[in-house]
Amino acid sequence: MTLAPTIIERLTRARGDLRMGVPVVLAADGRAALVVAVEALTADRLAALRDLGTAELALTARRAETLKARAYDGDLARIMVPADAGVEWLRALADPADDLRMPMKGPLRSLREGAADLHRAAVALAKSAHLLPAALVVPVSKGLALAAELGLTFLPLDAVAPALLRLSPLHEVTSARLPMVASDAGRVHIFRPEDGGDEHYAIEIGQPDRKAPVLARLHSACFTGDVLGSLKCDCGPQLRAALAQMGAEGAGVLLYLNQEGRGIGLANKMRAYSLQDQGFDTVEANHRLGFEDDERDFRIGADILRRMGFSAVRLLTNNPKKLAMMESCGLQVVERVPLKVGQTAQNAGYLATKAAKSGHLL
């Protein structure tokens, strides 16, 4: 093994670069482009990028739909950036915060010719860095030389694309006993992915028999609900009820998955909440931001359970997608255990939307 970073390590580096506003170089089939997340783009960098080539804006088709821009590349739109467009113009296209106040952003012209692969990877990278899914893409010749000269992260797409799809293996780092209100016999296990991404936690209650189906819950982080007692969702009460049921039965596993905001990150979830205050529901808000309604990867939960030695679960959930994902990852779901707690006047609409649009069971 060499000391040079692997493609996975360079990907992790690229996420940090994008969050700082530093360009990364994506390359495929002799083509290359400098890519910057719109959210972190500064006027200086925009000016420097313009010296290198013509800027294009990559957005998801979801965002393009709200902007009434054409998406010729399926899930993606490539928008031409006028020569006099500044950072504010780009931000306004990326961020729906002011859509209602300033609905007319166009006319927007979408690119139809040419390949969209670099743009698609740029948007996927921005998403995986929990940024708004919008990237400035500046095609350049000699991408590798430019990356070497400027010290930029260079990512060849043939290696990046499969790495973005693959689940990074998770390894247990450590565990410790934790007496809790729900049970004296608690133990917290920390799992860390090889790609330097978010850690996830398994809270084991008692000593569940590895040969029998375990009472399990895949809980996605919700800072507002779990910690602040938000009334906009049911996460906090679900978390506590799941632990309480495991405590009462004497055994269970709750996975606390750091997939805040259904995988879009807390900053984007707060953006979604602002949109909800403008009258959009939880699904519409995600779409206006350019996300799917659920961006979580439930393979993580299945992987952790398997690593802990479980092969069958009684899953506490109202979400059929979690059941399907478990089964497709080879974990047998012998029973769905409903988890209905925490209904409030403030979250009735949210829960109704999840049932109507996302297939949640009432």
Ligand X SMILES: Nc1nc2c(ncn2[C@@H]2O[C@H](COP(=O)(O)OP(=O)(O)OP(=O)(O)O)[C@@H](O)[C@H]2O)c(=O)[nH]1
Q: Which does 219 bind (CB under 5 to 8 A by kind): Zn ion, ligand X, none?
A: ligand X
Q: Which residue number, 6 or 344, has a Cβ lying nearer to Zn ion? A: 344
Which one among 269, 271, 287, 288 touches ligand X, defined by CB under 6 A? 269
Give the CA dihedral 237, 238, 241, 243, nearest 10 degrees. Answer: -120
Task: Give 185-240 as a DSSP string.
Answer: SEEEEEEEETTS---EEEEEES---TTSPEEEEEEE--IIIIIT--SSSSHHHHHH
Measured in whole angstroms, the distance separating CA 223 from the mean position of its chain's CA atoms is 15
Measured CA to CA in angstroms, residue 310 lies from 171, 215, 231 at distances of 15, 10, 34
Instruction: Name the one range near ligand X by CB under 6 A: 67-75, 80-88, 107-115, 315-323.
Output: 315-323
Pairing assessment for the beta strands 31-37 and 24-28 based on DSSP bridges: antiparallel
Q: Which does 15 bind (CB under 5 to 8 A by kind): Zn ion, ligand X, none?
A: none
- Residue 12 in contact with ligand X, rule: CB under 6 A: no
Taking the complex as a whole, how short is the minimal distance between the CB of residue 353 and ligand X, in angstroms? 9
Which one among 233, 254, 304, 323 touches ligand X, defined by CB under 6 A? 233
Q: Which of residues 320-349 bind ligand X (CB under 6 A)?
A: 322
Taking the complex as a whole, how short is the minimal distance between the CB of residue 209 and ligand X, in angstroms? 23
Instruction: Name the one range near ligand X by CB under 6 A: 42-50, 55-63, 172-180, 214-222.
Output: 214-222
Footprint of Zn ion (CB under 5 A): 222, 225, 233, 235
Instruction: Name the one range near ligand X by CB under 6 A: 18-26, 54-62, 87-95, 216-224.
Output: 216-224
Calculate Rg over the CA atoms of the chain: 22
Task: Give the per-residue contact string, 280-309, with ligand X (x = CB under 6 A; - = no).
Answer: --x---x-----------------------
Q: Which residues contact 345 (CB under 8 A, 6 or more apart)?
A: 231
Distance CA 211, CA 105 (A): 59
Q: Which of 212, 219, 223 is nearest to 265 (CA)?
A: 223
Q: Count residues contacting ligand X (CB under 6 A)?
A: 21
Measured in whole angstroms, the distance separating CA 56 from the mean position of its chain's CA atoms is 23
Taking the complex as a whole, how short is the minimal distance between the CB of residue 350 and Zn ion, in angstroms? 9
For the stretch 17-33, what's the b/e string if a residue is b when 16 or more beta carbons lie within 10 angstroms of its beta carbon?
bbeebbbbbbbbeebbb
**Active-site annotation, residues:** 294, 296
Q: Which residues contact 175 (CB under 8 A, 6 or more apart)?
A: 187, 188, 189, 190, 204
Which one among 126, 271, 318, 326 touches ligand X, defined by CB under 6 A? 318
Q: Which residue number, 214 or 242, has a Cβ lying nearer to Zn ion? A: 242
- Residue 235 in contact with ligand X, rule: CB under 6 A: yes
Provide the annotated binding site for GTP.
217-221, 238, 260-262, 282, 317, 322
Provide the annotated binding site for Zn(2+).
222, 233, 235
* Residues binding ligand X (CB under 6 A): 219-222, 233, 235, 238, 259-262, 264, 269, 272, 282, 286, 317-319, 322, 360
